[in-house]
Amino acid sequence: DTEVTQTPKHLVMGMTNKKSLKCEQHMGHRAMYWYKQKAKKPPELMFVYSYEKLSINESVPSRFSPECPNSSLLNLHLHALQPEDSALYLCASSLDRGLGSPLHFGNGTRLTVT
Amino acid sequence: TQLLEQSPQFLSIQEGENLTVYCNSSSVFSSLQWYRQEPGEGPVLLVTVVTGGEVKKLKRLTFQFGDARKDSSLHITAAQPGDTGLYLCAFLTGNQFYFGTGTSLTVIP
**Interchain pair B42, A56: CB under 8 A:** no
**Interchain pair B42, A106: CB under 8 A:** yes
Return the beta strands (E) in A39-85 as ranges.
Answer: 44-50, 53-57, 64-70, 73-79
- d(CA B32, CA B30) in angstroms, rounded, equals 7
The per-type count for chain B, helices as H runs and strands as E runs, is 0, 11
Per-residue pLDDT of chain B (109 residues; tens, 9 = 90+): 457 899 999 999 999 999 999 999 988 888 889 999 998 899 999 999 989 999 999 999 999 999 998 999 999 999 999 999 999 999 877 667 789 999 999 999 9
Which element (helix H / strand E) includes B24? strand B19-24
Neighbour-count burial for B73-106, b at 16+ CB within 10 Å, e otherwise: bbbbeebeeebbbbbbbbbbeeebbbbbbbbbbe
B chain contacts of residue A5, beta-carbon cutoff 8 Å: none
Share of chain A above pLDDT 90, in %: 82
- d(CA B74, CA B58) in angstroms, rounded, equals 10
B chain contacts of residue A42, beta-carbon cutoff 8 Å: 86, 88, 99-102
**What does the radius of gyration of chain B's CA atoms come to, in whole angstroms?**
13
DSSP B33-55: EEEEE-TTS--EEEEEE-STT-E
Does A113 score more than 70 pLDDT?
yes
Q: How many CB atoms lie within 10 A of CB A73?
A: 14
Nearest to A105 among B43, B48, B100 (CB): B43
Render pLDDT for A36-61 as a digit per residue (tens, 0 to 9): 999 989 999 999 999 999 987 788 99
Instruction: Say whether residue A89 is in contact with chain B using an 8 A CB cutoff.
Output: no
Does A5 score more than 80 pLDDT?
yes
Predicted pLDDT of residue B94: 65
Q: Which residues pair with B78 in a beta bridge?
A: none
Q: Are A44 and A33 in contact (CB under 8 A)?
A: no
Mean pLDDT in residue range A87-110: 89
Q: Are A56 and A66 in contact (CB under 8 A)?
A: no
- d(CA A94, CA A68) in angstroms, rounded, equals 15
Share of chain A above pLDDT 70, in %: 95
Predicted pLDDT of residue B27: 85
- pLDDT, chain A, mean: 92
- d(CA B70, CA B59) in angstroms, rounded, equals 25
